[in-house]
Amino acid sequence: MDIFNLWKEISFKLSSVINSAAYTIWIQTLQPLCVKGEVLVLLTESNTSRQTIEKVYIKEIKKALNSLDTPLKEVQVIIEEEKHHFKEEIDKYQKKKLAPEEPIANGNSLNPSSKYTFDTFVVGESNKLAYNAALAVAKSPGAAGGFFSFNPLYIYGGVGLGKTHLIQAVWNYLRENNPKLKILYVPAERMTNDFVEALQNSNMQSKDAFNMVAFRNKYRNVDVLMIEDIQFLQNKAGSQDMFFHIFNDLYQQNKQIILSSDRPPKEIGTLEDRLVSRFEGGILVDVSKPDIETRIAIVRKKLLLENIIVPDDVIYYVAERFDSNVRELEGALSRILLYAQLCNLHTPTLESAKDALQSSSQSNRALDANDIITAVCSYLKISKTDIISKKKTKDVAQARHIAVYLIYNILSMPLSNIGQIFGGRDHTTIMNSRDQITSRLPNDRALEMQIKDIKGILNIK
């Protein structure tokens, strides 16, 4: 069974029922790992991620799986540390599919999608500089740009605008044209988790232990290092110090470093000045919201790749209505195509497209406080148990303040009611939480971006 194509089909179905930001954060990062009996085994980045997927999205994943012609009935999500329980099954599928295109020397990275290439990336005014910079790095890693330094390449922008596409396009280009290069491609959270694990195992001398020697070999013995969501290092002094030394080692050896973030370096809260300086020492490029011409081109490109014919009036309708990000645009198109199939239409019409999007919006129930708390916890990687508890660590308190602020402003809920949701806190405490965020927002760009992204997860403009 080709579980990789199977997962592509499942992902396509999920893109039409899960909002764009949540799809990017939780679904797109899952990897099909193997099959055990009637169970499809998926790999996720962390235990926190697994908990969120199992609580919020597992039913939709199973529903999509069961809608396909396959003997598989169940889905299991595991983390890296549990892979040894499935060694026999994983070996079987890796020999079948992964061996020809193993992503890195250490086998502990994301598995970039082959569909993300420079050829499938639609270039417009909003992303032209980022595209050209990424292509230059792909053609000459570590030395691109001639007089100008393209090392590091730092790509930033909001959710669903093409950062991941460009980074994976570089990965795919390098694997095709420089197959001997050692490439490591991981999210910053994974790198931090690796660092913590290595510290915990620092006294273990076993060759199988992931200790500091193994950590250094993994992150420093590479030709190209790709780190997604580097903003995850904010408020993590130890991880920042660790990455500073990794960065210096690779940079001095002319090894290519590629970073992505949701904001420029100076807007990442508590990021050390020495890291800001090094990130800005290469080339910073942003990807912003695509204009109408680019959105039309994106829709047409997707249809061309899928060999689907759709009338121009439907294409224009989708491109005009959805202007926030590419994932939202593609999700709307998927809903329109699915609705046309259900209506036995050979091709979507403008009327069926409007009906598809209208029925989709009508089916969404009204937001409640739990939805907002779930979105905050998902985005900030905080458990719901912690955010409701009396825990007062900085990251938990920050998440709690943001959740209170959003519940108050979106639902107009009385402070006393919000207090009951958060473990019986009194209205004065809740008011202070709300006011902390309100007072910081005008001057805190990073906080503003967090609020905006969380609203995006909730489909709130």
Domains identified in the chain and CATH numbers: 3-101 (3.30.300.180), 128-286 (3.40.50.300), 292-363 (1.10.8.60), 369-457 (1.10.1750.10)
pLDDT tens per residue across all 461 residues of the chain? 678 778 877 887 887 677 655 666 678 778 888 898 889 999 987 777 788 888 888 999 999 898 887 889 899 999 888 888 888 888 776 554 433 333 343 333 455 556 788 888 888 888 889 999 999 899 888 764 445 568 899 999 877 788 888 998 998 899 888 888 889 988 888 888 888 888 877 676 665 567 788 888 888 889 999 998 888 888 888 888 989 999 999 998 889 999 998 888 888 878 889 999 999 988 899 888 888 888 888 888 888 877 788 889 988 888 888 877 777 777 778 778 877 777 778 888 898 888 877 754 444 446 788 888 988 887 788 888 889 988 888 889 999 999 999 998 888 778 888 988 898 888 889 989 999 999 888 877 778 878 887 887 676 65
CB atoms within 10 A of CB 310: 21
Burial class, 177, CB count within 10 angstroms (exposed 0-12 / middle 13-18 / buried 19+): exposed
Please state, in angstroms and rounded to a whole number, the distance separating the CA atoms of residues 255 and 178.
14
State both tokens at 186.
Answer: 């991981």
Are 30 and 44 in contact by the 8 Å Cβ rule? The answer is yes
Please state, in angstroms and rounded to a whole number, the distance separating the CA atoms of residues 233 and 29.
19
3-state secondary structure of 2: coil
The number of angstroms, rounded, from the C-alpha of 130 to the middle of its chain's C-alpha atoms is: 18
Please state, in angstroms and rounded to a whole number, the distance separating the CA atoms of residues 266 and 280.
9
Residue that has been written with the tokens 């001398």 in this structure = 205
Per-residue confidence (pLDDT) for residue 231, from 0 to 100:
87
The number of angstroms, rounded, from the C-alpha of 168 to the middle of its chain's C-alpha atoms is: 12
Q: How far apart are the first and last CA of the chain?
A: 42
Burial class, 220, CB count within 10 angstroms (exposed 0-12 / middle 13-18 / buried 19+): middle
Of 103, 104, 123, whose CA–CA distance to 113 is shortest?
103
* Sequence-separated (6 or more) residues with CB below 8 Å from residue 399: 376, 377, 380, 382, 386, 387
Please state, in angstroms and rounded to a whole number, the distance separating the CA atoms of residues 82 and 78.
6
Angle between helices 3-15 and 58-66 (to 10 degrees): 120
3-state secondary structure of 218: helix
Are 247 and 278 in contact by the 8 Å Cβ rule? The answer is yes
State both tokens at 90.
Answer: 């994983």
Please state, in angstroms and rounded to a whole number, the distance separating the CA atoms of residues 439 and 434.
9
Residue that has been written with the tokens 């990687």 in this structure = 381
Are 387 and 376 in contact by the 8 Å Cβ rule? The answer is yes
Please state, in angstroms and rounded to a whole number, the distance separating the CA atoms of residues 227 and 273.
19
Per-residue confidence (pLDDT) for residue 209, from 0 to 100:
62
Residue that has been written with the tokens 């969120």 in this structure = 52
Of 278, 87, 256, 287, whose CA–CA distance to 173 is shortest?
256
State both tokens at 287.
Answer: 């990807």
- φ, ψ of residue 257 in degrees (nearest 5): -120, 130
DSSP letters of 71-115? S--EEEEE-GGGGGGGHHHHHHHIIIIIGGG--SSSS-S----TT
Are 301 and 140 in contact by the 8 Å Cβ rule? The answer is no
Per-residue confidence (pLDDT) for residue 124, from 0 to 100:
86
